[in-house]
Amino acid sequence: MKLKPREIDAFIRTPDPAVQAILVFGPDQGLVQERCRQLAKTVLDDLTDPFRLTDISDADLRQDPARLADEAAAISMMGGRRVVRVRGAADGLSKTFKSFLENPAGDALIIVSAGELTPRSSLRKAFEDAKNGAAIACYADDAQALEGVIRTRLKEAGLSIDAAATNYLQAHLGGDRGVTLQELDKLILYMGSAEQSEVTLEDVQACVGDTAAMSVDEVVDASLGGDLPSLDRALIKAREADTSPVMLLNAVTRHAEQLHLLTGQAETGAPRDGLLRTIRPPLHFRREAAVKRQLSLWTRARLDRALMLLEEADRQCKTTGMPDWAVCAQVLFRIGQGARAGRR
């Protein structure tokens, strides 16, 4: 069974009883791990219970493929349904899982985690084609999903958040769900020492991912500013920091949309210096000169084209199996070249 993005949250809350084995895969490994944990919690309250939870590695299963059926059929000494987790699976195990799904054993819930798998992946196909299997893809959160994660996590801690702070977090988080939750936990600890219950822009700027934020901003400004050598260096830096390419595309898209709005106002005669003060969240002073320059390089028509390119690149990263870093770099350099053309 192949789950559509809009079906995933409901399925994770209440998995289909006919599904015994679930593959959770994708480039956002933080989200992969979170969803695996949520699925396991539908069966077990205590994920440290050694009688009802078994972990098997990819290497273990390669050496002994029959162990999957053995563990699925095993009965807990203390009673209750069991969970079998298989970590780090790859296409080399596709025959093992295909055989199990065709001839299932026991009633244990099998949760399989994997990295990024292309649509042609034999492992992915085994789960998508099986009536008693399901495949869940995990990609970097888009703006809407990220806002939901932010508000839900803060609400659980008894906190609310204002619009400027939300916008800032959306611009600088989202590449990996695990990192996002870690940063939100840091924010919650920080707010524990404050008297107010609403998170403000000043609060998030004080404690959330300055290094990561700078790396993303460098990519955004280099691409939309037409500084190709700086863009090359910024992309290398972002990749070394394990920043998600989809996160970078989302950040460039959000900034291009802001530029589109501001450029439209500038074309009606609004002063450019004043326009910068309307940006939300407010610009850090170090970026003001770069963004002012970007406004001089772009027209609304050319930004329309850039946004179309970004949307297509985001689609390719999420659906085609093409190398996401190659797709990301290609479109950002094309946009950088477009910015350079604006100098003429």
**Where are the chain's structural domains?**
5-137, 143-208, 211-341
Q: What is the pLDDT of residue 211?
A: 54
Q: Name the token pair of 17.
A: 């009883």
Q: Name the token pair of 206.
A: 């004080």
Q: How far apart are CA 109 and CA 119, in angstroms?
A: 24
3-state secondary structure of 280: coil
Q: Name the token pair of 334.
A: 């094309």
Pick the CATH number of 5-137 from 3.40.50.300, 3.50.50.60, 3.40.30.10, 3.40.50.1370: 3.40.50.300
Residue 246 in contact with residue 317, Cβ under 8 Å?
A: yes
* Residue 132 DSSP code: T
DSSP string, 164-176: HHHHHHHHH--S-
Name the class of domain 143-208: mainly alpha
Quickly tell me which residue has 């990295």 as its tokens: 115
Q: How far apart are CA 141 and CA 148, in angstroms?
A: 10
Would you state the CATH architecture of domain 211-341?
Up-down Bundle (1.20)
pLDDT along the chain (344 residues), means of 10: 90 95 88 91 90 87 94 87 91 94 95 89 95 92 84 92 88 74 86 80 78 76 94 88 81 87 75 69 74 89 90 84 89 94 72
Axis-axis angle for helices 245-267, 288-297 (nearest 10): 70
Segments in 21-93 forming alpha helices (H): 29-41, 58-63, 67-73
Count, residues in the chain: 344
Q: How far apart are CA 161 and CA 107, in angstroms?
A: 43
Q: What is the pLDDT of residue 27?
A: 78
Q: What is the pLDDT of residue 11?
A: 96
Q: Backbone dihedral region of 155: left (phi > 0), alpha (psi from -120 to 50 degrees) or beta? A: alpha
Element (H, E) at 187: helix 177-191
Residue 141 in contact with residue 150, Cβ under 8 Å?
A: no
Q: What is the pLDDT of residue 287?
A: 80
Q: How far apart are CA 157 and CA 52, in angstroms?
A: 30
